[in-house]
């Protein structure tokens, strides 16, 4: 059934992946800010958080930001970064035809959400970023925001892993050849964003085979770890790649850095809510 909640680093070699030329019409045009703004960050990148709790948490933060705006008070941006327990999520208009299983016998929980896009998978080894930001502080343009999220991942892959990634005409997300490494699905309410992006770092990709990811029949799903291993195998390079924990940490630090640069924000770490908060979300 579909659920809904109750309201020592080693240098990584250049990855040379043979890719078919893709037309890339989307461009990211940065917005120059006169002053770097603060962004509250809840860092759970080493934690597995159940999807329903994270979803409810986002909506609570959105509600609080809307209240601030109604009182004409300052509305700072917020970023949550975490991993999820295995789960499938669907967008508001997603079709069940992209599920390769009977919902009554789903391998993991399935949630239909208010984000855009088709079905995707979240699980361990995948870093999920939920920016809950006031686009009034940036640019009130949904297409600009999607391109900005893509830009964050493209810069991470290039600057940290020497992986050349790109956008594909008519699609949202970040690609290396025919492999999609990052999925993006967002919701914007009164110019406050929530939901966000998911980057496959060390993710077990098997659960993606039980769906048609993002409704794209002729595309594959990839991960940073998979591309690094592919490079090492194809070149027989005598280089030891980082282990899973190292790769998650490296990717996390790079995501934060590039997110701050793209959105011109300064991160301020926030304490994670205590146990009473989480009991209220169940």
> Quick check: is 8 in a domain?
no
| Span 111-136, average pLDDT | 97
The alpha carbons of the chain give a radius of gyration, in whole angstroms, of: 18
Work out the pLDDT band at 4, boundaries 50, 70, 90: low
- On whether residue 127 sits in a domain, the answer given is yes
What is the Cα–Cα distance from 277 to 60, expressed in whole angstroms?
A: 11
* pLDDT score at 26: 65
Does residue 279 sit within a domain?
Answer: no
CA atoms of 64 and 129, how far apart (whole Å)? 19
Decide if 63 is inside a domain. Answer: yes
Residues 6+ apart with CB under 8 A from 170: none
Give residue-wise pLDDT tens across range 136-147: 999 999 999 999
- Reply yes or no on whether 214 is catalytic: yes
Q: Which of 88, 94, 90, 58 is nearest to 193 (CA)?
A: 58
- Write out the DSSP string of 36-58: PEEEEEEEEEEEEE-HHHHHHHH
User: How many domains are contained in the chain?
Assistant: 1
3-state DSSP assignment of residue 180: strand
Weakest mean pLDDT among 19-23, 37-41, 249-253: 19-23
pLDDT of residue 30: 75
Distance CA 103, CA 119 (A): 13
Q: Count CB neighbours of 183 within 10 A.
A: 25
Checking if the pLDDT of 194 tops 70, the result is yes
Half-sphere CA count of 64, side-chain side, radius 13 A: 13
Q: Is residue 12 in some structural domain? A: no
Bridge pairing between strands 179-189 and 77-84? unpaired
The percent of residues in the chain predicted with pLDDT above 90, rounded, is 78
Please check the confidence at residue 7 and state whether its pLDDT lies above 70. Answer: no
The terminus-to-terminus CA distance of the chain in angstroms comes to: 18
What pLDDT score was predicted for residue 17?
37
DSSP state of 134: B
Pairing of the two strands 126-132 and 110-112: unpaired
Indicate whether 77 belongs to any domain: yes
CATH assignment of the domain containing 109: 3.30.930.10
pLDDT in tens, 95-116: 999 999 999 999 999 999 999 9
How many C-beta atoms lie closer than 10 Å to residue 99's C-beta?
Answer: 18
Domain contains 163:
yes
Strand partners, 174: 182
Question: Are 205 and 226 a contacting pair, CB within 8 Å?
Answer: yes
In a domain, 281, yes or no: no
Evaluate if residue 34 carries a pLDDT over 90.
Answer: no
The C-alpha atoms of residue 87 and residue 108 are separated, in whole angstroms, by 5
Burial class (CB in 10 A: 0-12, 13-18, 19+), 165: buried
Name which of 13-22, 44-53, 76-85, 228-237 the model is least confident about. 13-22
pLDDT number for residue 154: 98
Domain encompassing residue 170:
37-269
Please pick, among 8, 16, 214, 260, the residue that the annotation labels catalytic.
Answer: 214
Q: Sorting pLDDT into bands at 50, 70 and 90, what band is 85?
A: very high
Helix (H) or strand (E) holding 189: strand 179-189
How does DSSP assign 92-128, residue by residue? Answer: TT--GGGBSS-GGG-SS-EEE-SSSSS-EEE-TTEEE
């Amino acid at each position: 059934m579909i659920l809904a909640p109750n309201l020592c680093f080693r240098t990584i070699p250049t990855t040379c992946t043979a890719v078919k030329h893709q037309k890339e019409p989307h461009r990211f045009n940065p917005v120059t800010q006169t002053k770097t703004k603060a962004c509250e960050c809840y860092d759970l990148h080493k934690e597995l958080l159940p999807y329903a709790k994270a979803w409810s948490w986002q909506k609570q933060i959105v509600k609080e930001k809307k209240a601030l705006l109604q009182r004409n008070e300052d509305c700072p941006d917020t970023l949550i970064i975490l991993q999820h327990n295995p789960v499938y999520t669907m967008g508001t208009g997603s079709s069940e035809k992209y599920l390769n299983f009977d919902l009554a016998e789903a391998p993991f929980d399935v949630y239909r959400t208010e984000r855009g896009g088709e079905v995707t998978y979240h699980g361990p080894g995948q870093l999920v970023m939920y920016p809950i930001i006031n686009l009034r502080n940036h640019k009130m343009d949904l297409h600009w925001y999607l391109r900005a999220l893509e830009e964050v991942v493209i810069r991470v892959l290039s600057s940290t892993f020497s992986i050349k990634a790109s956008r594909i005409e008519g699609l949202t997300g970040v690609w290396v050849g025919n492999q999609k490494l990052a999925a993006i699905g967002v919701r914007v309410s009164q110019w406050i964003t929530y939901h966000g992006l998911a980057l496959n770092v060390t993710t077990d990709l098997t659960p993606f085979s039980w769906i048609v990811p993002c409704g794209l029949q002729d595309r594959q799903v990839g991960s940073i770890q998979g591309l690094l291993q592919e490079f090492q195998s194809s070149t027989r390079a005598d280089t030891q790649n980082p282990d899973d924990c190292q790769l998650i940490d490296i990717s996390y630090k790079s995501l934060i850095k590039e997110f701050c640069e793209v959105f011109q924000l300064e991160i301020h770490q926030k304490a994670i809510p205590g146990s009473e908060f989480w009991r209220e979300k169940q």
